[in-house]
Each structure stands twice: as C-alpha cells, then as structure tokens.
Structure 1
C-alpha cells in the first residue's frame, strides 16, 4: 500500500473528511482533531500496514506512523480534508476554550518545527568537538594550535547562529501557529537580538551593562531566550489580528505592520522581556536543582517517570527547557537521562519480541525495539509496553537505573532531539564511554526484568 492509499484508508476509517476538524503532524504521529469520536473504526486504522498504533490524547486522535512515513502520509492526507492544512487549526480552535491540554498542544506545535535546526546545530557542535580534540588531531600529526583560524570561524558560524537568533525562530513559529503573519514574527524576534542592545551573554558574564529605561527597567538583548520570544509572539500575533479587523483595507498594508511591530517591540522590551526572562531563569534553576540532587536522586526520578510525559502528550514542554539550557551555557542536562528511558523501552520490547509466541506481537515488537534504539519510542510504548503494562513498568525501572548513573557521572549533551544510537553524536568527547555504559545498563535492566518477571510468552495483544 503506497502513501496515498494509506491516507485514503485512514480518512475512510476516521469517518471521512466531514468528521475531520483539522490535521497536523509531529515527527512520528498524524494528529487529527475529530468531530465525532464514535465514527472512528480504531481496529481498522491500526490494522493498516503503515500504522504502529493509535490513541486519543488531549482532544486529538493520534496515529503512530513513524519518522519519515508520517510526513509522506500527511502530504497525501491533508489535501483530502477539504483543503485543510497543518495550520488550519486557528479558525476552529479559536472557538474552543483554552484548557491546559490545548495549551500544551499549542506549545508543542510552536517548538516542533524548530527542532530540526537545533538537531543540526548539535551535530555541528559534536563534530567540531571531535575534530578539535587533541587525541584525534594527534592521529594525523597535528595539535589544536595547528587548526586554521578560518576553520574555527567557519564552525562557529555553523554552531552559534541558531542560538544567537533563537528569538526570531520562536517568534516566527508562534506567529504562524497563532494566525499572525510569520514574516512579522521573524522581524519582531530579530529586534529582540538587535546589535544595538547589550548582548545577553556579555551581560551575564558582566562584560557589558544593561540599558536602563525610566530609571528602573533594565533592557538587554535576548540572545538564547525562549519564553520572552514565545510570549511576544503570542501578543504580537493577537495585536496583528486585532488591527486587521479594524483598520480599513486601504490602510492595512501601511498601518498594520507598523503598529504591530511598534506595539509588539514596546511590550517586549519593557514588560514581557524583563518579566519572562526572570521566569525562564527561575524554571531552569528549578530543573537544574532537581537534576543536581545528591546521590543521583534527580536522575533516578526523571529517568523513571520522564517516559510518562510522552503518554500524556506533554513531553514537548521539555523542548523549551532543553533549548534554554543549550542557549544559556551550551549543555543539555536532560538528554543523557531521558535517553536512558528510550533505551530501556528498547530493552523491554526486545525481550517481548524474542519471548512471545504471537506472530502479530513479533511483527510489531521487533521493529519497535529498533525504532526505540534510534530514539523513536511511540511504536514501542503504544504498540507494546503500555498495552501489556508490566513491560512498561520494567522500562521505567531500567530508565531510572540508567538515569541514576547518568546523574552520578554528570553526563551532559551538546545538542538535543537525538537519543539512543544517534545520540552518540552529541557525546563525541570524553563522555562517550560513559554515555554508552549508562544506555547499556538501562537497556539490560529493562530487558532482564521483562524477560524474567515482566512478560509471559503466552500473552497476546
């Protein structure tokens, strides 16, 4: 079955185009907001060869297709739904009450499009770290002093640009999701990091002083900041929508962008920025406090229970924390602990795959285990472990043990969004052996517990 046929079948089994309110997707799941849940034939959807599972979460029917596949199926699916696209949710969701669930979904929609850029940036950082290591250079008879300055400058452009202009990326995506004009979001975000403002990194290192307005408001650039740009994007898009409804068409082209940028920047520099930058720092300190609890307690807790975030659909909130960590000091402290949970899922699912006597279970579990090793756990969680319950508990234990060790060893990544086997690219330094060790431990503990007490081979889906 090709992607077009899969899209057509999915649409048929969810009740047709008239039952679809809007559709979007993330890295692994097709996310459909349904009008009447009773019209969905879940068994038929999950029986399709490209579908690993499905579930309802936060008002969405989410169909697990896997990385790469979901993009192709979505491209075929979206045109079938009366011309709706991934960004067509504004009109329909505008009528909905803002709930915690919807807020988390929107938060994820804003940050998911930014992640590929940050993944690439993390890989650039890892490769630069590898190529500039003394041991690696020694193989070809060089030392760090032999590296040309032009090469270092070139790599600096690759690694620093995304974080230096991060507010522009966040504001662009926020405008896009909230119905504003994305180009205005980009410009408003760039204003937050304009070179005439004191650089946030230099102010933090006390190499520069913030500007002081009205005798008490301190203004700096917001390089690497997330929350100020996010809130500014929300306000800016709402301002633009408000103005477009009230300004005559003959003046819209002139006044709407002018007033949107003027009001948006004023709010951003003097109210939103100072307040939410402090909130952002406070949240980061709280998370770092948890992760730095003595005796590896923080790693044990997050490694065990972090896997639950994906089930409840609120794992995207971690994107903000990881992006903020990387922007602040270049290190991601959540990644090495979270990746242990992924590898633990792989271990638990592989144990099920080998032990089961069910052909259907084997068909699902083997590829799901490989997928989890590569960092995509939805097929493993929703297709195997969560359905069987005990293997999921075993994976939580394995993830907790691995997270405990990662915390004890003080592991930290130089990027984000890569875990498991691909995640090794974020540890191309002296941490690599320890990264491999904690993941092997997480995998082994989950595999062993699932094999011995967590699964009976007679169990079937």
Structure 2
C-alpha cells in the first residue's frame, strides 16, 4: 500500500468511516468532505495523520488541509476506494444547505469571483512589468530613455493591462449565471451589453469629458467598464429570470424565445434600474474604503493588517475582491494589497518561529513547509495547522501584520494588481516601490517571528494547550 493510499484510508477511518462520508472534493490545498454526522469525527486522530496540516469544519464541509499537489493524490486515492467524487462547486452546493443567509450569500459571492481572480492576477502582473520596463533607471541600463519607447509597444501593453477591466462586467455576469444556475453564455452576452461601445464610456464620464445618456430626465445610463455590483446583481436576477422563463416556455419555443426574453428583460433592468442604483452604491463603498485608507498616522494599516487574517478564518475574505477591483479602477493602484501582504507574511513568520523552535519532529515537519506556503500567499496550512492550534503564534502573527501594515500605510505603498502577496506579490511592486515592499515584509515577518520565539511558543506551553 502506498503512503497516499494509507493516508486516505486513515482519514476515512478518522472521520467516522465510509458510511459517514457523502462525497469527496478538493480545492488547491484542502480535501473537502461532506459528512453525515459531525460527532463521529475524531479531530485529534485526523490532525495526527501524516501530511495533514490541520482540519476544520466550514461552509458545511469538513476541510482537511494537505497542501498543493498532495491533496490531488489523496483525493484520487479516496475516489478509487469507491467514494463519489464531486467538483468543488458541487461540494459547496451540498454544504450550502447549512449555514445562515449571510454565510450562504458570502459563499456565493466567493464562488463567483474565485474563477475570475487568475485573470485579474495576470493583469496585475502585466501592470507591474509595464511599470518596470518604462522606468527611466531601467531603460538607462540599455542606453534608452522613455522617448525611445514606441507608441506601438505602449499600445500593446495597454491591451494586456486594460482588457480584463474593460470587460470585467462580462466576466462577472458569466460567472454569476454559472453559479446561480443560468446559461453562462447568456450571462456573458448580458455583461458585454453593459460595456457596449454604443454607451458612454464610464471612464470618460467620470473624467467629465462625456455626459451620460439621461432617460426620463433623471436616469443616467452609461457603460459599466470595470464595474462589479451592477453585473453581479444583474447576473443573479438574470439567472433566476431565465430559469423561470424556461420552466414556463413550451419546448418547441424554448431555444428561440428563452434567450430572447431573458436578454431583453435583463438589459432593460440592468441599464435603467440595477445599473444606476448599484453603481451609485459602488461609489459609496469606494468612498468609505478610501476614507479608511486615508486615516492618519498609519491607523488604517494597523487595523487592516491586524484584522485581515481573522477575516480569512471566517471565510468571508473574498468580499474584499470588490474593494480591490474598485481601488485599481479608481486609483490605478491597490494600497489594500500592500497591507494584506503584511498580514499574510506575518502568519508565515510566526509559523517559521514555531518550526525552528520546536523539538517535535512532526510539528517541525508541519510548520516549516506551512510557513513557506504562507510566504507564497496561502496561509491556511500555517493558520489552521499550527498558529491557531497553539493560539499565541496566531496572536503574534496578528501583531506582526499590524506592524507591517503600519509601515505600508505610512509609506503609501500600493500594488499594481491584486490577489497575490508576499513572494509572488513582488511582481506587483517592480516599480520604484520594490524596496519599500521588501521592508514591509521584513517588518511583518520579523515582528511576528521575534514575538513568537520569545513569548508565543514553547514545547511546554504547547503540551499544556493540547492537554486542555
């Protein structure tokens, strides 16, 4: 029996046996199990299994942290054992039967945005690379000046950096239709209608050079380039409208009339009601965010850097995707990313301190790879596998995040993109900010590491906590 096969079998036994598992799925780092009876789970036994970096119950699923690569192999072994393999989204639908209305709404918001994030990450990297290659200092190394850069090259870089944001409503409407049971291609077309070149461009209107089209004398109609909420709300309603029409429509007319009526109804609602209302709400959210980020004396960095990873534990952190998109659209940069980076790096620093200080070979083998995972921007193994288990390392990580966030705030550090942090996030700061970015990470990691080493962890203290 291979190691992965043995680990899969031990996980099955520890969660109550085959009869207690409804289905098995996985994401990038976690095995997601739909459990029949939570009381049959032996939490301690699960956490003591080789390669398991932590386990917890969230979003109606029992999630076992195994790490990238490993989770795929363990999942395959469990499917070979005869379990029903499901997709991550199917598992979420089963798990979504549990939880209150707010939890379900936030999960749905995350389900919509997670597939879009890789595109926005790529766009941020393109922005960072463009910022690098047009720097005077970099060009000087090749004997060039900014005047030597051709217009065609700059146009090419604009295609790379602007396309995703121009057509963002199409991506969001597509994903929202997909999540809420509509036909994704209808969502895509609806989103494209929201950025039609026949409408006044949202950026031109915001710049004051173009006036919106006024219907009925008081309804402003514009394009919704880089807008989020109008497409998201239109996608939710549109998916439900499509399903309602399809259920009522005779089969012979379904192919022709269902998409026709769905798009007609939804573009009317989106342009004249949903768009104006939720675009205005986006403005309120953005103004509130900018107000917090503008707090003096680095207070915003202290607050966000200190609380960010607590929010990650709750699983509602995907809600901040909306804020980051708005910041990038409005400012052309993302100060939130710099502060969030400090919070992520600090948890890695705390876990690294535990890994280097402990004499337990098992904990060392768990903590050191988990800290590296955090330095790559994924903190779940560090938080759930180590820091939260021993409490104080997590607290010291929060303090380190606040310290790093403070430095990011007072230096006005801001990334060119979103969704990647720490080591990968370096690519968002390849302009003149790179040394400040390194400083923020060093402060966050250093404070968390030092506090954890001195006050946050000892093997004796760990034994006392695990015995309680």
Shift of 1:20: 5.0
Instruction: Give, in whole Å, the separation in 1 of the partners of 2:97 and 2:400.
Output: 43
The corresponding residue for 1:250 is 252
TM-score after normalising by structure 1? 0.93
**Do the aligned residues in 1 keep the contact of 2:127 with 2:417 (CA within 8 Å)?**
yes
Residue in 2 that maps onto 1:400: 402
Which of 435, 455, 458 is the matching residue for 2:457?
455
Which residue of 1 is the match for residue 41 of structure 2?
40
Q: Cα distance, 1:83 vs. partner?
A: 5.7
Per the TM alignment, residue 262 of structure 1 is displaced from its structure 2 partner at its CA by 1.0
Moved more, 350-359 or 49-58: 49-58
Q: For the residues of structure 2 that align with 1:13 and 1:129, how far apart are their CA atoms? A: 51
Contact 1:413 1:426 in 2 (8 A): yes
Do the aligned residues in 1 keep the contact of 2:60 with 2:97 (CA within 8 Å)?
no
1:63 matched to 2:101? The reply is no
SS in 2 for 1:417: coil
Compared CA separation, residues 247 and 41, structure 1 to 2 (3 A): farther
Distance 2:10 2:119 in 1: 33
More displaced 10-residue stretch of structure 1: 57-66 or 386-395: 57-66
**8 Å contact from structure 2 (residues 110, 319) kept in 1:** yes
Deviations 1:331-384, CA, capped at 9 Å, x for gaps: 112110011111111111111111111111111111111111111111111111
Pick the aligned partner of 1:202 from 199, 204, 226: 204
Q: Is the 8 A contact 1:331 1:412 kept in 2?
A: yes
Following superposition of structure 1 onto structure 2, how do residues 60-459 of structure 1 map, counting pairs within 5 Å?
A: 60-70=61-71, 81-82=83-84, 84-88=86-90, 92=94, 99-458=101-460, 459=462
Query: Residues 17, 169 of structure 1: CA spacing in aligned structure 2 closer, same or farther, 3 A cutoff?
Result: farther
* 3-state SS of 1:422 partner: helix
Change (3 A) 1:411 1:75: farther
Give the drift of 1:193.
0.5
Partners in 2 of 1:78 and 1:413 — Cα distance?
A: 41
Q: Give distance in 1, aligned partners of 2:270 and 2:171.
A: 16
Deviations 1:388-425 (A, max 9, x none): 11111111111111111110001111011111111111
Task: Provide structure 1 residue ranges, at least 5 long, that are not aligned to the other structure.
Answer: none
Distance 1:77 1:37, change over 3 A: same
Deviation of 1:322 (Å): 1.0
Distance of aligned partners of 1:78 and 1:272 in 2 relative to their CA distance in 1, 3 Å threshold: farther
User: For the residues of structure 1 that align with 2:113 and 2:425, how far apart are their CA atoms?
Assistant: 20
Q: Is the 8 A contact 2:26 2:87 kept in 1?
A: no
- CA distance, structure 1, for counterparts of residue 96 and residue 381 of structure 2: 32
Distance 1:2 1:359 in 2: 18
Which structure 2 segments of 5+ residues have no match? none
Which digits, 9 at most, give the CA deviation of each residue in 1:414-441, with x for residues without a partner? 0111111111110011111111111101
Seen in structure 2, the aligned counterparts of structure 1 residues 395 and 89 have a Cα distance that, compared at 3 Å, is closer
TM-score (norm 2): 0.92
Structure 1 residues 208 and 317: CA distance shift in structure 2, 3 A: same
Q: CA RMSD in A?
A: 2.4
